[in-house]
Amino acid sequence: MRNFERSLPMSLLIAREAVMAKFTPVLREHGLSSQQWRVLRALIEYGELDATELSNRCCLMMPSLSRILKNMLERGLIARRTDSKDQRRSLISLTSAGEKLFDTLAPWNEARYDHIENILGKEKLEQLYALLDETIDKLNHLNDQDKGASAP
Amino acid sequence: MRNFERSLPMSLLIAREAVMAKFTPVLREHGLSSQQWRVLRALIEYGELDATELSNRCCLMMPSLSRILKNMLERGLIARRTDSKDQRRSLISLTSAGEKLFDTLAPWNEARYDHIENILGKEKLEQLYALLDETIDKLNHLNDQDKGASAP
DNA sequence: CAAATATCCTTAACATGTTAACTTGTATTG
DNA sequence: CAATACAAGTTAACATGTTAAGGATATTTG
């Protein structure tokens, strides 16, 4: 039987925790979860987005995003308006308070990446990105194909 | 500013989802979450464990594990007894029903790993494991050292 | 155009992630 | 031994993950 330590999902999970370890407390000091940070980050980079696109870019399911946006709206971090051409769509953007909060946290985020790059080395970090991307691409591509799985 | 796509936590998250994609539905058919599967797997591999050790091996926080064990106990998948030498400790083991469920799912799990190895190649898979392990080791080692973080 | 379908988003319900407080049992210390 | 500190689990409270169902608007179809 495969060794418990050789579990790819576990390794990915633990690696993610290790990578986040130094940044999560900084987020918490400002009352942000890592998910809310992803929303902030996506809106800074892409500007106004509708909820579905935001959901895709942040890897958040719509029900989660829905609650997160409600929360961030109450805190005045984001603004939302209805798309005039499609009344179903809800367009989300950052308020100046949201931008300000991002500006406060961004240096910590950069410092974290510098830290990782220093520890691991630029080359290995790039190698890790490349391997992850390749894994994602190939698995998602092949997962899309055989929807009818057969017995092992 | 760093590109949103070049986010290591996001890549790790997406890779994990891709790796789990084909197995999660199989678990669900048997009413198991991936966390419950980790518990099953750890108990098969290590035998009887106390809750704290189980928590460490499965990367589950104690409050989560507490609820999960209650659930699995009600379903008759695990048994628990109090350590006679330390009445605080709770020792967990699999019932025969738990072992049987594991035996049913194990082939699917193996098939998943074969699938990944076929797609990615044995060499790259080993390379990925090695890089993740190195990242985890180095980050955790250095995170332990400087507990007092300084401004960026 | 009216009915059926599809899309966008929300809500519901339950499991898990996460921090803090609490309970009980064990170890330390005076 | 009594008081204190520590350790193992649980519970509480709230955010998020996840599936299913619902409400409103767009689109397609007959």
Task: Quote the pLDDT of residue B3.
Answer: 67
pLDDT higher than 90, residue B83: yes
For the segment A8-22, what is each residue's pLDDT rounded down to a tens digit?
Answer: 999 999 999 999 999
Q: What pTM did the predictor assign?
A: 0.91
Structure-derived torsion over alpha carbons of residues A41, A47, A49, A51, reported in degrees to the nearest 10: 30
Task: Quote the pLDDT of residue A119.
Answer: 93
Q: Which of A18, A19, A143 sits opposite B22 (nearest CB)?
A: A143
pLDDT higher than 70, residue B143: no
Q: What span, in angstroms and rounded, lies between the C-alpha atoms of B32 and B40?
A: 10
Judge if the beta carbon of A71 is closer than 7 A to nucleic acid strand C: no
Q: Name which of A3-7, A22-26, B53-57, B80-84 the model is least confident about.
A: A3-7
Confidence of residue B152 (pLDDT cuts 50, 70, 90): very low
pLDDT higher than 80, residue A4: no
CATH topology for the A9-141 domain:
Arc Repressor Mutant, subunit A (1.10.10)
Q: Which of A4, A6, A126, A145 is nearest to B119 (CA)?
A: A145
Confidence of residue B148 (pLDDT cuts 50, 70, 90): very low
Judge whether A49 and A138 are in contact, CB under 8 Å: no
3-state secondary structure of A93: strand
Specify the length of chain A in residues.
152
Which residues of B are less than 8 Å from A124 in CB distance? Answer: 131, 134
CB contact under 8 A, B10 and A38: yes
- For residue B142, the chain A residue with the least C-alpha distance is A119
Task: Quote the pLDDT of residue B141.
Answer: 81
Which residues of B are less than 8 Å from A17 in CB distance? Answer: 59
For the segment B57-73, what is each residue's pLDDT rounded down to a tens digit?
Answer: 999 999 999 999 999 99
Confidence of residue A148 (pLDDT cuts 50, 70, 90): very low
Q: What span, in angstroms and rounded, lies between the C-alpha atoms of B13 and A117?
A: 19
Q: In angstroms, how far is C13 C1' from B97 CA?
A: 28
CATH topology for the B8-141 domain:
Arc Repressor Mutant, subunit A (1.10.10)
CB contact under 8 A, A8 and B113: yes
Structure-derived torsion over alpha carbons of residues A28, A29, A32, A34, reported in degrees to the nearest 10: -40
Judge whether A58 and A64 are in contact, CB under 8 Å: no
Task: Quote the pLDDT of residue A29.
Answer: 94
DSSP string, chain B: ---GGG-HHHHHHHHHHHHHTTTHHHHHHTT--HHHHHHHHHHHHH-SEEHHHHHHHHT--HHHHHHHHHHHHHTTSEEEEE-SS-TT-EEEEE-HHHHHHHHHHHHHHHHHHHHHHHHH-HHHHHHHHHHHHHHHHHHHHHHHH--S----
Q: Name which of A41-55, A130-144, B7-21 the model is least confident about.
A: A130-144
Q: In angstroms, how far is C18 C1' from A118 CA?
A: 30
| Residue A25 DSSP one-character state | H
Identify the residue whose tokens are 């890790």.
Answer: A128
The H or E element spanning position A140 is: helix A122-145
Instruction: Provide the residue ranges of all domains of chain A, joining segments of one domain with +.
Output: 9-141
Task: Quote the pLDDT of residue B4.
Answer: 65
Residue A93 pairs with which residues in a beta bridge? Answer: A79
For the segment B121-131, what is each residue's pLDDT rounded down to a tens digit?
Answer: 999 999 999 99
